[in-house]
Amino acid sequence: MRYKDEKETEQLRDFAKNSIVDVLVRKTGHIKEAQERLSLIGEGRLEEAGVPQAFIELIRALPVERRDLLLRVTSKAGLEVSESDIYRDSMQGVSEDYLWRVLENSGLDPGEANISVQVLSGILVPAVSGESGITDRLRDIVADAVDTVPKEIQAGEVIVSKGDTITPQIAELLRRQGYPEAAFPIKTLLIISLSVISVFIWAKKNVLTLWDERKAGFLAFLFALCLVMGVLSAFYGMTGLGIVPMAGIAYVTMPHRRARATVLAGTFLLASLFFDVTPISSGEILLIGAVVAGIGEILFRRIDSRSSLWLCMVQLGLVSGAALLLSRWIFNSPFDYIFPLQVLFLSVLWGTLTMIILPLTEGLFDVLSPLRLMELCQPDHPLQKRLQIEAPGTYHHSQMVAILAEASSDALRLNSRLVKSGAFFHDIGKLKRPQFFVENQFGSKNAHDDISPVMSALVIVSHVREGLDLALENKLPEGIRHFIAEHHGTTCLGYFYKKAKKMGLDPSESQFRYPGPRPKTKETGLVMLADSIEAAVRAERENIKSFMDLKEIVDGVTESKLRDGQLDDTGFTLLDLAKIKEVMLKTLKSMYHTRNIVPLQENKTPENGKDGQM
């Protein structure tokens, strides 16, 4: 490595500057002034020549002849000295000894010669002196003219040894060799802190508020995973690929719109961490984040197995690598022939790592992925086995509700796996006292005939609380527990309430209502409708003779839930409810078909007539 030795160059410049002691300037103005004064002395104009008063008195005290001689000799001798190089080139002027020698043959006696020497000494001041301003400028010019000293560092040459002081020059050499400089990164920490705060505020507004505020820890885990994977990917020069594992887990555990927002927030956070490396690094990260956020929603739309999840992760990594390669080609950034192999290696590695992390994440943060939902839907789940044996009617009812709800959720583009899993477990509380529920009585005596309506209501309503206890005991995810708690909402048990009033008990309606809460999402609201509709159709099965009978039951149940306000918090629109009823009617026709149940003939009236019926 070639470099300029600043230390040695500075030493040479200091030497050049110090070699200039002083710049001497001949002050011709002083010489001219001295000559004018000497001429005035020759004319006898002592006061105008600036001769001290004491000397003027001594000169005028002399006889006229001696005085004239003194003035002539002094003026002539002084003018001759002022023209000599001894005076003009001297920084000290002329000495008195020199002046005495000049006046040696002048005809003056010692006293008169002494007066002349003293007067000349006062007039012939030094004509040469140093000029500090000019000297400083000349020193700077000379120093600037010194070229920098070029040097080379050969391979294997020691730059600094242990215990040596790191001078600015050594520090610069180490930086140029690629060694990191240890310094407190106040600027980086400040920007990262502001970025983290901004990202979490934005994520709270766009992800947690519309999803689940209790998942803040899971969101923080995703951001931390993005940063860690980004740092590891940086060792391969592909920092942006660190977004892929976070994106994969986000898209399989969160609603896609929230997952997209999370990926974009994590991308911004990672880009801010690497902002001071190079501008291109941050640009590449933002580009890959945008690609992952868009492609991820397409790739993870349907995950049927762990192998399909792994394949989607690899595909996501390869697409991200292709975007990275394109950006480097556009901006002429360096990459070599092994770059595609590195992309493939990281894609496979991150995909495999995601498969390992996902189950741990599901258990640690109680989140639901399609794979976990598929496992919950298996008939060999302990609670499903218990239902088959201890409450077979409830098990069959749950299966029918799942079929109805899943078909409707597909029509509404909801999370059908979540709806199906919730339907499978929504009534597990009936395992405590299955004989008190009509679907498990199979023609035997009704257990409610021997107890009061209030007690009957208490037993039936308690299956919600008991279901939540069983869910916690069997470690069912929180998302499934919502279906257990909300599938009846705050519905009133009208049959037992009316029965109690007929018996003259004067009951409070609150005693006959489920504890709630009402459904908070479209998924739990869908299971509520499917549960009530399936139970109503089963109860009236013997009386259903036509498609109109089915339609009347479905419309009646839906209208009842709407009037009671049970669907107010779900976000269902009238169009959603129309689709739900249409799909459930088609599904019920295939589930409870007889020769007499046929669909209504197609209405030939104009479209506005149909709307009027809605």
Residue keyed to tokens 């002494």? 114
Pairwise CA distance, residues 232 & 244, whole Å: 12
Query: What pLDDT, on the 0 to 100 scale, is given for residue 560?
Result: 93
- Cis preceding linkage at 477, omega within 30: no
Structure tokens belonging to residue 269: 């956070």
Query: What pLDDT, on the 0 to 100 scale, is given for residue 528?
Result: 96
Pairwise CA distance, residues 566 & 558, whole Å: 10
How many other CB atoms are there within 10 angstroms of residue 252's CB atom? 25
Query: What pLDDT, on the 0 to 100 scale, is given for residue 568?
Result: 93
Which H or E run contains 24?
strand 24-26
Largest CA distance in the chain: 170
Of residues 554, 485, 496, the one with CA closest to residue 518 = 485
Q: What is the DSSP string of 257-313?
A: HHHHHHHHHHHHHHHHHTTTT-HHHHHHHHHHHHHHHHHHHHHTT---SHHHHHHHH
Judged by DSSP in three states, 550 sits in helix
Of residues 271, 203, 269, 198, the one with CA closest to residue 239 = 271
| Pair 221, 203: CB distance under 8 Å | no
Residue keyed to tokens 């040695």? 8
Pairwise CA distance, residues 268 & 195, whole Å: 8
| Pair 397, 574: CB distance under 8 Å | no
Query: What pLDDT, on the 0 to 100 scale, is given for residue 500?
Result: 84
Buried b (16+ CB within 10 A) or exposed e, 571-603: ebeeebbeebbebbbebbbeebeeeebeeeeee
Strand 24-26 vs strand 128-130: parallel, antiparallel, or unpaired?
antiparallel
Query: What pLDDT, on the 0 to 100 scale, is given for residue 610?
Result: 31
Of residues 564, 499, 563, 554, the one with CA closest to residue 532 = 554
Query: What pLDDT, on the 0 to 100 scale, is given for residue 188?
Result: 61
pLDDT < 50 regions, the chain: 210, 594-595, 600-614
